[in-house]
Amino acid sequence: MACAATHSKDSKLIQIVDAALADAARRSGSWLVCREGCTQCCVGVFAINQLDERRLRQGLEELKARDPRRAERVRARAREAATRLAKDFPGDVASGVLDARRAEEFEEFANDEPCPVLDPLTGSCDLYAARPMTCRVFGPPVRSEDGLGVCELCFVGASDEEIARCEMVADPDDMEPEVLRDVEASGVRGETIIAFALGR
């Protein structure tokens, strides 16, 4: 599939997810306490797919064009994190790809590591528009195999019914797997982490 077609599909996916987030935030009202400077969800390494990696790299290039110093600070934090994390990384350090057979190790891996995209002075995300899907759906109630989950800081005191009324369905047409297949067909396959996506 042509790169332009994949980019177009990904842009549509992001529009759908962002609209779902805006709707969930509207329905959540004061239950949703997410705001700039609240960084609890920005600490602890999590897996990202190749589509997320592509968005982040593109976002960093766009930031470099607008604000080279800020972009270099992001890249420096990513390099430093990648160096720190390489020793215990449960995957291939050269490619940055996680080993799916070592999922249990990854559960305990770098849980106190701040995201390299997080500006430590402002508490804001330097690549917010290019953030991974996990970041885009964090906060509002989202259904997973474990049930309806929310950030522990949000919906404090809300009933199960109130939480359910605010559920976010991020990708109702299940577009992400198709776009991810397109991206992986012409490159690396497997999940990685932000430090390796931006620090290599």
pLDDT 10s digits, 86-129: 999 999 999 999 999 999 999 999 999 999 999 999 999 999 99
H-only helix segments in 67-139: 68-86, 103-107, 133-136
pLDDT band at 1 (very low <50, low <70, confident <90, very high): very low
Average pLDDT of the chain?
94
191 Cβ contact list (under 8 Å, min separation 6): 47, 48, 49, 50, 97, 98, 100
Residue whose pair of structure tokens reads 């369905």 in the numeric block: 169
pTM metric for this prediction: 0.92
pLDDT at 13: 96
pLDDT single digits (tens) 150-176: 888 999 999 999 999 999 999 999 999
pLDDT band at 3 (very low <50, low <70, confident <90, very high): confident
